[in-house]
Amino acid sequence: MYVQTVMSQGDLTAMLIGDIDHHTAREMRKEIDALVEKYHPTLLRLDFSAVQFMDSSGIGLIMGRYRLMKLIGGSLLVCNVPPHIKRIIDLSGVGTLGVLEYRTKEAMK
């Protein structure tokens, strides 16, 4: 299992687990997209707190969910991003979309 999801008050939270690479990203996309299409959440939250490794497939995962949420009139929030993953996101330019929540799990305690 690479994704744990919770639907609450119109928001869908997807906790991504493990590594995000070309092998796992496809399954994550399929599972998240199916739930977005079924429930049409107003907010999709991608929680990266349990992600140990991410390559460019993770950037594609974020971008595709961003486009999907825009198509249905919702928004995307990427949260709990570990510093080593945040660096990849920042280098890709995805952070300029305004989808990153800069608070970490530690800051929310």
Residue 60 has pLDDT above 50, yes or no: yes
User: 74 in the Ramachandran plot: left (φ > 0), alpha (ψ -120 to 50) or beta?
Assistant: beta
Q: Alpha helices, DSSP H only, in 1-109?
A: 25-39, 56-71, 83-92, 105-108
DSSP state of 10: T
Phi first, then psi: what are they for 94, rounded to 5°? -60, -30
| 108 has a pLDDT exceeding 60 | no
pLDDT at 32: 98
d(CA 99, CA 82): 15
For the entire predicted model, the pTM comes to: 0.90
Residues 79/44, Cβ–Cβ less than 8 Å: no
Question: How sure is the predictor about 102, in pLDDT bands with cuts at 50, 70 and 90?
Answer: low
pLDDT of residue 2 exceeding 70? yes
